Amino acid sequence: NAQLDYPSNRLANIADLAVNEPMDIEYPDADSPGILLKLGEAVEGGAGPDGNIVAYSVLCPHKGWYLTYSAEDRSLNCPGHFSRFDAEVGGQQIWGHATQNLPQFTLRVDAKGDIYAEGCSDLIFGRPSNVL
């Protein structure tokens, strides 16, 4: 687990988010899709006044398939080889083939409720290093 710093990017405002309804984002650039998600309670790595806002890459760390979000159990699921990641526990792998957890984007929320991404917990799939 190697924290990577990327440029700060405004993703949305807290008011734009509804609980358990992920918003599609791109961070740190257009080649890196992800989701921004407000959960029902405070969680690991959660930002904002309630500690419940998280963001993750949706590129599977195994081979880069696109993950889909399951609102039922707050997990991200891979249609490729069925790896599963827990959105309430920092992207921890629940089951699967990946050798790392799902990259979680580091968030900061300012006094106006604007949400910024500023880094990432692990390498995004396909990136050999911290380069844009």
Q: Enumerate the active-site residues.
A: 62, 81
Q: How far is the CB of 32 from ligand FES (least distance, A)?
A: 16
Instruction: Using the Cα atoms of residue 76, residue 126, residue 103 and residue 11 in order, give the sign of their dihedral.
Output: negative
Q: How far is CA 60 from CA 65, 77, 121, 126, 128, in A?
A: 5, 9, 14, 10, 15
Q: How far is the CB of 98 from ligand FES (least distance, A)?
A: 6
Number of residues written out for the chain: 132
Q: How far is the CB of 53 from ligand FES (least distance, A)?
A: 25
DSSP 3-state assignment of 101?
coil
Of 97, 113, 118, 130, the one binding ligand FES (CB under 6 A) is 97
- Is 65 a binding residue for ligand FES by CB under 6 A? The answer is yes
DSSP 3-state assignment of 58?
coil
| Segment lying near ligand FES (by CB under 6 A), choices 23-31, 77-85, 102-110, 114-122 | 77-85
Of 78, 87, 107, 117, the one binding ligand FES (CB under 6 A) is 78
d(CA 76, CA 68): 5
Instruction: List residues near ligand FES by CB under 6 A.
Output: 60, 62-63, 65, 78, 80-81, 83, 96-97
